[in-house]
Structures are given as structure tokens and as C-alpha cells.
Amino acid sequence: MTVCSSCGREFESSSDSETLCPQCASELSAQEPQARRTSRLARYLQSPTIVLIALNVLIYLAMVAQGRSIEFSSELLLNWGANSGGLTSGGQWWRLLTSVFEHGSPLHIALNMWCLYNLGWLAELLFGRARYTLLYLLCGIGGSLGSIVWRGDALSVGASGAIFGIAGALIPAMMLHSNPQLRMALKRQLTSIALFVVYNLAFGAAIRGIDNAAHIGGLMTGLILGGIFPTGTEREGERGRLRVAGGCALILVIFLFCGNFARQRDLPYAEALHASECYDRGDRAGALAHAQRSVELEPENAHSQFMLGAMLLSEHRPADAVAPLEATTRLRPGFGPAYVNLCAAQRELKLLAQALANCEKGVQLAPGDSESWFNLGRVRYDLHDVPGARDALAKAVAINSEGFDENLQYALLLVSNGETAKAIPYLQKAHDLHPADEGVTRLLMHSRGQ
């Protein structure tokens, strides 16, 4: 008789290796599939790869819910922490990490999560879960830094920098693994990962809109850390921890150097952003100071030149506004609003011939902009071209029927041209838009004969 190792009952065994009674053996056999399923589920739930994928997907779905679209505007992306040189290097350094968990479209997140799923399991095996997670985050930051160092103020989001970093870390980890048998077993995966890196970098260079700078930044971070971080049995012990600490220290020094370079390079963008913030707060003096500083730092920046010119014009300084607006038309000859604002400044300075040429250019470049037609109409009127002014102002009103200035100026022209009855609806509209304007009220009553 044999004693069951599980329940202690005696039973007749058919072999010396049999240690469980038939009842316990049956119960264990029934439990094995469930145990295997539980073990597999636990492994998935404990996997950093699955957690990272879930986090990326949840953030994307939250953005879909807020934006009511599966693709997002630049404004929404920035509100959720997108990476952008002027904002990031201007002090919002947390964007280096938050941008890694944002994606701009279903295809964008689907491709990135598919790549992460395939690369993540191997990285977990070689580096361990905690160090793999650290690698992912550091490579993501490295990719974001690469983006602002190379691309300046361009907006970027996505986990691709972190994913390229994981791929980069796997290459030296597999090549330098202490176990020769494992190195041979991983040779095929090493070739696949190397091809993945080369193909995607070439694809990114060929397709406009792909942030290859983030790919390269993440890849370089991963190559450095993958060569330093221990794998296999070397992960254990004090020496392994020292290697991790040394690798992190080295990469942080590199990050500080790159961050300082980006801050200096992107200072004009940061000054322009500060100018916009001050202007929105009503701090006109501060806005002008930052705008002028931005232009001084980078005179060839069309955005800064236009911002400065538009601010000076709004402060009724047309003589000062002309130079930055002319610089904008030189730097961006296809930018219609620059010509329109230049036209407005020259009109105030009584440079009517030049103003007319710039207004006509503005209308040509931006035919759907009511301000272009509005300014053209005013300049034509100053040049005594009443029919031309009438046509331009009519188009301005047609484009922007809710515009106070458009309705009022068109009505005034009609009144001066003896078309008082036709002017009344436009005067009424102007009055409805600004009922407190006493001048418009008197003119409306007079036109009605009241």
C-alpha cells in the first residue's frame, strides 16, 4: 500500500512513481487548465508592456471623448501635453514625458502599440520588468529631446521614440549577453530588430510628417543604456545595480546637455509664446517686450516678425509696424495676413499706392478673408475709387455678415453714395451688434427719417 502525498490516505499504486491517490490525481487534473489560465492572466496583468499599452490606449480614448473625433487638433494635443520646442524648453519640461503617451490618430496608436507589444516581451525577459519600464521612460524622454533639438518648435507626440529606444537597447543586450547559447538563440531576433530599425528610419526619412528626430533620439538613448544595463544573471547583485545607476547618470548628463542646447535654440519661440500669453492677459507692454526680444534673437523668424508687427499696429504705431510686416512678406511671401496688416499700416501713414498694392496681394492670397476685402475697400475709397470700394466692402460683408466694422463701413459708403434706403439693413445690423454705440443709433434714425 502507498500513502497519498496529498490527503494521507492509503491506496494501491500501480507503480513506484505514483504518489497521489486516484481521487487527488483526478482533482489535480481538473484544476490544471484553470491554473494554467490563471497563471497566464497573472503574467499579462503583471507585464509592464501590457500596462503601458493599456495606459496609451486609455489616454487616446479620453482624448477622443474630449475632442469628439478620432483625430486631434494641435490645440487639443498641446492641452494634453504634446511636445513643442517653445513650450517645452521654455520651462514646461514635463512635456518630454507626457507627449510619449499621446497619439494623433487610430493608425498612429495602432502601429505603435503593435510594435511595443512585439518588442516589449523580449525586453522584459532580458532586462527584467522594473528596468524595462525605466528603459521605456528614459528612451521616450530621449526621443522627445531629439525632436526639439532637431526640429525646434514643431509639435510631436507618440511612443515611437520610446519604442525605437527599446529596439536600440535590445541590439547590444543580445549581442553582449553572457550566455553564448542564448546569444545564438537570439540571433534571428537580433537580425529582425536591426532590419526594423533600418527600415523604419528610411521610411521616416522618406515620408513627410514623421518625426524621425524622435526616432533617432530614442534609438541612441536605447543603444547607450542597452550596452550598460545588465541582462540575465548579471542583473542580480550590487554590480548590476551599480551598472543601472551609472547608465542612468550618464544618460541624464546627456539629457541636461541636450536640454540646454534646445533651450538656447528655441528661445525665440519661447519669447514669442510669452508675448502671446502677455497679450491675452492684457499686458501689452510685456507682450511687445517679449515680441521684440523674439525678433532680436531670430530676425529671420516670420512668425515673430508678424506677431511684433500686428501688436504694434494694434497699439496704433503704424510707422513702427511697417518694418516687421515687410520682413514677414519677405520671409513668407505666400502669407496673406502679412500683406493685409501691412496695407492697414501704410493706409494710416497715407502711403496709399503702396497700401493698395499690398491689399490687392492680400486679397489674392486670402480671397475668403473678410479683413482683406475690408481693408481693400477702405484704401480704394481713400483713392476716390468709389465703385471699387463698394465692391470690396460688399464682399467683406458677404464673407462676414456678423462683422460690425464691415456692416458699418459698407452702410456709410452707401449713404455717402446716395443709397440711403439700401444702407438701412446694414446700419440696423451694426446697431444690433453694438446697441450702445450712439453714433450708429443716430445715423440709423436719421436714415429712417426719424
CA 327 – CA 347 distance, rounded (Å): 18
Q: Alpha-carbon Rg of the chain, whole angstroms?
A: 34
Q: Report the alpha-carbon distance of residue 51 to residue 128 in Å, rounded.
A: 15
Point out the catalytic residue in the list 84, 89, 156, 160.
Answer: 160
Residue 283, C-alpha cell as written in the block: 499686458
C-alpha cell at 30: 481538473
Catalytic residue among 103, 177, 215, 303: 215
* Torsion angle of C-alpha atoms 70, 73, 76, 80, degrees rounded to 10: 70
Contacts for 122 with CB less than 8 Å, ≥ 6 apart: 170, 189
Cβ(105)–Cβ(70) below 8 Å:
yes
160 counts as catalytic: yes
> Known catalytic residues?
160, 215
